[in-house]
């Protein structure tokens, strides 16, 4: 290498990504020279593109007080609404869908064949939550799905943001399941359809979260009381589905909200406890359905 001649001007530094561009600005993280096109504003000075990308990978996403990562878009809520609407459109094309997938504990067709959960059709416990009254049928007709989807649209995004996606999904599905299980236990010959059990579970969850955060709960209390009045005064409504969903949603959200009392950084322990609570509640429902099915099949065999 040739030595620089005495008195010669020093060579100007250049950008590490664009060697032909002179610059005297360094990245505050890696100390390399960066040109204006490679500069990214930082808390102090500027950083290069690579350091910004590396920092983005290591930054923890914000979490709520309940341990859920805050989703930018309520994907689960919108997906549930879409599924309900699509199933309803399918119902309009074939009434057989309601017959095959509605919540029925035990039923005999004209040929004497038994159908329902007691005959092993356990899927009815959850598929019924995506079915609704046909236009002109039942106590509400098309308003059945309209009200349920309106309620899901209004409170679903808020709950999904607070709880995170997997907790919200578990809440919705277990609330729907809880309503069907209570109906099966109390009135196994009864039939029901609708997302109302899941919606009541969301009502219960909203109330618990409001109390946990010391937020106003008057609005949800009014809506809940109004719907309970309708539940017990309008004929043709499965009160078991509504109450079962409400109790399930309230109980599960109480676990989300109050167990465990940890700092926000201890989210792994909290996630494990919440996952165990979901699994335990599901196991309880399975056990209750199994016991009731054994009881019913024993009685029907005589």
Question: For the segment 230-285, what is each residue's pLDDT rounded down to a tens digit?
Answer: 889 988 889 999 999 999 999 999 999 988 765 545 678 888 999 999 999 999 99
Span 146-163, average pLDDT: 94
Q: Which of 133, 170, 180, 196 is catalytic?
A: 196
Q: Is 129 within the bounds of a domain?
A: yes
Same domain, 129 and 37: no
Q: Decide if 242 is catalytic.
A: yes
CATH number of domain containing 152: 1.20.1540.10
Q: Decide if 196 is catalytic.
A: yes
Same domain, 205 and 273: yes
Q: Which of 132, 242, 267, 274 is catalytic?
A: 242
Q: Is 290 within the bounds of a domain?
A: no
Same domain, 252 and 197: yes
Return d(Cα 104, Cα 131) in angstroms, integer: 13
**So what's the pLDDT on residue 112?**
66
Reply yes or no on whether the pLDDT at 59 is more than 60.
no
Return d(Cα 200, Cα 179) in angstroms, integer: 9
CB 14, CB 20: distance < 8 Å: yes
Same domain, 30 and 130: no
Q: Is 167 within the bounds of a domain?
A: yes
Orientation angle between helical segments 75-93 and 143-163, nearest 10 degrees? 160
Q: Is 61 within the bounds of a domain?
A: no
- Quickly state the pLDDT bin for 140 (edges 50, 70, 90): low
Span 57-72, average pLDDT: 67
Same domain, 221 and 120: yes
Return d(Cα 152, Cα 159) in angstroms, integer: 10
User: What's the structural domain count of the chain?
Assistant: 2
- Quickly state the pLDDT bin for 51 (edges 50, 70, 90): confident
**Residue range of the domain that includes 207:** 75-280
> pLDDT tens digit string along 111-134?
767 789 999 999 999 999 999 987
């Amino acid at each position: 290498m040739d030595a620089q001649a005495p008195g010669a001007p020093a060579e100007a530094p250049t950008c590490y990504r664009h060697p032909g561009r002179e610059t005297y600005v360094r990245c505050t993280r890696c100390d390399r020279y960066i040109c204006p096109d490679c500069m990214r504003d930082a808390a102090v000075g500027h950083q290069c593109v690579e350091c910004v990308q590396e920092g983005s990978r290591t930054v923890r996403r914000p979490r709520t007080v309940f341990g859920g990562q805050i989703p930018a878009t309520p994907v689960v809520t919108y997906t549930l609404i879409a599924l309900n609407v699509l199933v309803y459109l399918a119902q309009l094309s074939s009434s057989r869908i309601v017959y095959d997938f509605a919540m029925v504990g035990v039923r005999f067709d004209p040929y004497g064949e038994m159908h329902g959960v007691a005959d092993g059709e356990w899927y009815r416990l959850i598929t019924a939550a995506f079915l609704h009254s046909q236009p002109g049928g039942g106590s509400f007709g098309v308003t059945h799905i309209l009200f349920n989807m309106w309620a899901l649209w209004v409170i679903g995004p808020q709950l999904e943001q607070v709880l995170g996606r997997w907790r919200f999904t578990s809440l919705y599905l277990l609330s729907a399941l809880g309503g069907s299980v209570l109906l099966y236990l109390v009135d196994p010959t009864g039939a029901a359809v609708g997302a109302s059990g899941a919606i009541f579970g969301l009502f219960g969850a909203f109330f618990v979260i409001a109390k946990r955060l010391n937020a106003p709960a008057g609005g949800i209390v009014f809506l809940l009381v109004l719907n309970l009045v309708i539940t017990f005064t309008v004929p043709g409504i499965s009160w078991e589905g509504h109450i079962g969903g409400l109790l399930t949603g309230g109980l599960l959200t109480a676990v989300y909200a109050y167990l465990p009392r940890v700092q926000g950084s201890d989210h792994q322990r909290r996630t494990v406890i919440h996952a165990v609570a979901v699994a335990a509640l599901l196991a309880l429902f399975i056990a209750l359905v199994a016991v009731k099915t054994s009881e019913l099949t024993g009685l029907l065999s005589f």
